[in-house]
Homo-oligomer: A and B are copies of this chain.
Amino acid sequence: MMNALQAIMTRRSTRSYKSDALEPEKLQQIIDAGRYAPSGGNNQSCHFIVVQKPEVLAKLAKMVENAFAKMEITPETYSSLKMSIQLSKKGGYVFHYNAPVLIIVANKQNYGNNMADCAVAVENMLIAANSLDLGSCWINQLNWLTEDENILPYLRELGLKDDERVYASLVVGYAKSDLPSREPLPRKGNEVTFV
């Protein structure tokens, strides 16, 4: 198994997956990695909704496509959201890249650290997946749509509580093609200032 720095430096976004299910023990290791992320004041109020049922994934994908297809693009629309809207209007948009597992991370809506806590839980799971030679990708679509009139009630059917909203998600599975070179890509931004 790769060491922590290697797992961090070689993590990539995978957007094409085999249909193979994950071994339950690997999935559990990934979930544990998320559950052991730090939280504000050790609050531990993340709620992990782990979706594997193909019919639920397909229904969510259709709802997400429908929601984006109704949106208008303005000059202020964030680039990734713009792409989701454009692809949904064309049809056939699958936000979860047909990965076999989607892990939705929700948290209390009135809790100040909700976004940070969910984000670090997802990051831990991305690193864990990479260390297990699995592909993974951050998913922002469900937090963009967490208040959607169709998606919110459906997420509640899946277990989301009334006082919770989605702040971050990921998909995970076996990458369809061989993973690209494990050499880290140079960073173009993320400036450092030493004081």
Which listed segment binds B: A25-33, A62-70, A171-179? A25-33
Task: Pick the residue among B2, B52, B140, B167 that contacts A40 (CB under 8 A).
Answer: B140
A120 to B168, CA, bound (A): 11
A100 to B195, CA, bound (A): 12
A35 to B162, CA, bound (A): 36
Q: Give the oligomeric copy count.
A: 2
Whether A131 pairs with B43 at a CB distance below 8 angstroms is: no
Size class of the A contact interface (CB-based, 8 Å): 35 or more
- Residue of B at shortest CB range from A107? B190
Besides the known contacts A9-B36, A47-B192, A49-B193, 19 further A-B residue pairs in the complex with CB atoms under 8 A apart: A2-B3, A3-B131, A8-B127, A8-B128, A9-B32, A11-B36, A31-B192, A36-B187, A40-B78, A43-B189, A44-B188, A46-B191, A48-B190, A52-B195, A78-B113, A115-B115, A115-B119, A123-B123, A127-B127
